[in-house]
Structure 1
Amino acid sequence: MKILISVCGEGFGHTTRCVAIGDELSKEHDVKFIAYGKSMDFIRRYNYDVFETYPEIKLSGNNGKFDIKKSIFNNKYNPAKAIKREMEIIRKYNPDLIISDCKYSTVVASRFLRVPYYIITNQNCTRTHNKEKIIVYPVMKLLNVINKSAEKVIIPDLPMPYTICEYNLTELNNLSFIGPLIRYNLNNNSSNNDDDSNGGNIGNYDNNNSSNNNRNNNSYNNYPHVKEDYILSVIGGFEYRFRILKLLNEVSKEKNIKVKMVCGSYEVAKKLNKIKSPNVEVIPLTTNMEELIKNCSFIVCHGGHSTLMEAISFGKPVITIPDLDHPEQENNAKKINELKCGIALSHKTLEHDLSNAVDEISNNNIYFKNAKKLSKICRNCNGRDNIKK
């Protein structure tokens, strides 16, 4: 069978889970991709054939704040242009099936040409009380009309009540929860042994291990629950998140702890290298993310769904710092907080809270314990196996 996978290239989250899909389906089928920009370059590193297309949106923001209006309504990125290009690609490749990861121009093209399609998404109803709802709600309503027409809407997340994207979903008859779709095959991973020696349920808070009385630590030697010797930052290469990296750099210097920062951008890496503390390693891009995640103590990220799926799959706690006014990331972070496998922070109080959150996770075993329990559930709900089915 010929399968065409189309990827929204805004951030690497959509791209990495589509690489996982390609990895599994190409064992039995002919697989090609539709992508653009850095996403296209990334997929080609895995030796897949990629048809180049155009973006339909472009994420925009400033100083940690996501601008949904500029992201969607931008004259430079025309969905009609993308639809036309993708219809040409579909006619040329003539696939039996199309899988679209939030690239709705491809879905429209597939519908015009009457090719069956699946949709991969982790949001179809982003709940928010912010003013952005006047844009978000009508857009989601329109997308759900399209979602209902798909063979299946595949949710690459754990089933309830452990669904990280729970607050970004509404029920549709064709929803299917298949488990995390991450780049790495957990069945080949021996580093994810579950340690249930402390017992307990996900979400229970261990007051006895709280770090409230232990804020003066200055190195990992004083952090009893830290498993490895560095924090992994995967904040991503958008310029408006640079403030987080600067603050994390200061925390690294203040506490004498190692931080590895994967930037996703040579431009951001260049700026960081000018100010970084001796304990910080700046990594512009990497093809070795699996080892970085496996060997870190915990992860600092912006709350993107795919990054959170990778973190819990490997049993790593997280500090999430969602973009301001980005309801999808804020909802993911809320669920991480509720499951007590991480801590959600706000940009508004980051100068004070980031340092405390590092202490809290490092000293409180409940986050490590709950993250390990989620990793066990991930192994039993393997997205790679389920996507083939």
Structure 2
Amino acid sequence: MKILISVCGEGLGHTTRCIAMGQEISKEHDVAYIAYGKSKEFIEKYNYKVFETCPEIKLTGKNGKFDIKRSIFNNEYNPAKAILIEKNIIKKYNPDIVISDCKYSTIVASKLLKIPYYIMTNQNYTGTHKKEKIVVYPVMKILNAINKSAKNVIIPDLPAPNTICQYNLKNIGNSMYLGPLIRYDLKDYVVNRGDYILSIIGGFEYRFGILEELNKLAEEKNLKIKMVCGSHEVAKKINNKKSKTVEVIPVAKDIGLLMKNCSFVVCHGGHSTLMEAISFGKPMITIPDLDHPEQENNTKKIQELKCGIQLSHRNLNDLKYAIDEMNNNNIYFKNAEKLSEICKKYNGRENIKNIIDNR
């Protein structure tokens, strides 16, 4: 069969789990991708065929704050443009199945062309009392109408009570839990509790303040920190002022290798990063983007499971206390290791292959 995987390219979280999916499915089927920007470049490094499209939205923010209105409503990108491009791609590739990871323009194009489709997402609802719900709730209502039309909505997470994206989900009848879908086969890694902090705060300029604070703490407390920046531009900025104990990594070739040997992880609230961390049994200090309800909900669950500490971008001074708490309280490490054992029982890569084979 020919499988076409379409990827939302805002950040690399969607991209990494779609690569994991492609690696598994391509063992028996032909696989191609629809992607754009850094996501397209990243997938091409794995030698897959990638058709270029454009975003439906473009993540925008400033000083740690995510701007949902400007991200969804902009003059440069819109769903209609993406639908037209992706409709032509589907006609050209002629897939048997389309799998879309939060790229809803591809789903609309598939529906118009009568191609069977699955949707992968960790968010079809966002529980929030913030003003952003004025935009989020109507958008989610529209997306769930589309979700209900899919053969299945695939959730790359653990079932309850350990679902990391629990507060971003509602049952719409055709959902199924896949388990963690990560790029790495954990059987290939011997996990150690190392002596360095792994920072995975990258990609967007509005997160730069976290890197500056980590760099300052590395100098003050003699902390070994490896910073994965996700961008050569961001890496260059932090390199100009970095502490001697900080290693700056513009783009990591193997996050799995870095993660297996770290002590703990500092990250935002992206779902894929959190799933990779719990799969490796690593506790986290999480700093979700300001006014980003999805990330805030993910990190709230991490804290409730007591495998991480949730901070606010508004209070980055708390980072030094969180690092001390993490180093001095073994409960976070114990609970992260327990989650890792649960992850081993839910093989997302094997499960996605079974879904395709038994469709």
Aligned length: 354
2:70 is the alignment partner of 1:105: no
Distance in 2, matches of 1:187 and 1:105, equals 36
2:96 is the alignment partner of 1:96: yes
2:330 is the alignment partner of 1:369: no
Counterpart of 1:150 in structure 2 is 150
Counterpart of 2:286 in structure 1 is 320
TM alignment of 1:99-178, pairs within 5 A: 99-178=99-178
Unaligned runs of 5+ in 1: 193-226
- Over the residues paired in the alignment, what is the CA RMSD in angstroms? 0.8
Could you give the per-residue CA deviations for residues 66-88 of structure 1, whole angstroms, max 9, x where no partner exists? 00000000111121111001000
Q: CA deviation at 1:187?
A: 3.1
AA in 2 matched with 1:150: A
AA in 2 matched with 1:238: F
Distance in 1, matches of 2:284 and 2:95, equals 39
1:302 to 268, 271, 274: 268
Alpha-carbon contact 1:236-1:265 (below 8 Å) kept: yes
Scaled by the length of structure 1, what TM-score is found?
A: 0.90
Counterpart of 2:237 in structure 1 is 271
2:301 is the alignment partner of 1:335: yes
2:207 to 229, 237, 241: 241
Counterpart of 1:379 in structure 2 is 344
Larger Rg: 1 or 2?
1
Among the aligned pairs, what percent are the same residue? 71
Alpha-carbon contact 2:167-2:297 (below 8 Å) kept: yes
Distance in 1, matches of 2:132 and 2:9, equals 22
AA in 2 matched with 1:357: A
AA in 2 matched with 1:130: K
Unaligned runs of 5+ in 2: 355-359
Alpha-carbon contact 1:187-1:379 (below 8 Å) kept: no
Partner of 2:70, secondary structure, is helix
Distance in 2, matches of 1:126 and 1:96, equals 32
Alpha-carbon contact 1:2-1:31 (below 8 Å) kept: yes
Alpha-carbon contact 1:99-1:118 (below 8 Å) kept: yes
Could you give the per-residue CA deviations for residues 237-269 of structure 1, whole angstroms, max 9, x where no partner exists? 200000000001111111101000000111101
Alpha-carbon contact 1:21-1:181 (below 8 Å) kept: yes
AA in 1 matched with 2:248: V
Partner of 1:380, secondary structure, is coil
Alpha-carbon contact 2:60-2:70 (below 8 Å) kept: yes
Alpha-carbon contact 1:155-1:179 (below 8 Å) kept: yes
Distance in 2, matches of 1:191 and 1:261, equals 19
Alpha-carbon contact 2:190-2:260 (below 8 Å) kept: no
Scaled by the length of structure 2, what TM-score is found?
A: 0.98
Q: CA deviation at 1:189?
A: 3.0
TM alignment of 1:186-197, pairs within 5 A: 186-191=186-191
TM superposition outliers: structure 1 runs of 4+ over 6 Å = none
Counterpart of 1:354 in structure 2 is 319
Q: CA deviation at 1:190?
A: 3.5
Distance in 2, matches of 1:61 and 1:30, equals 38
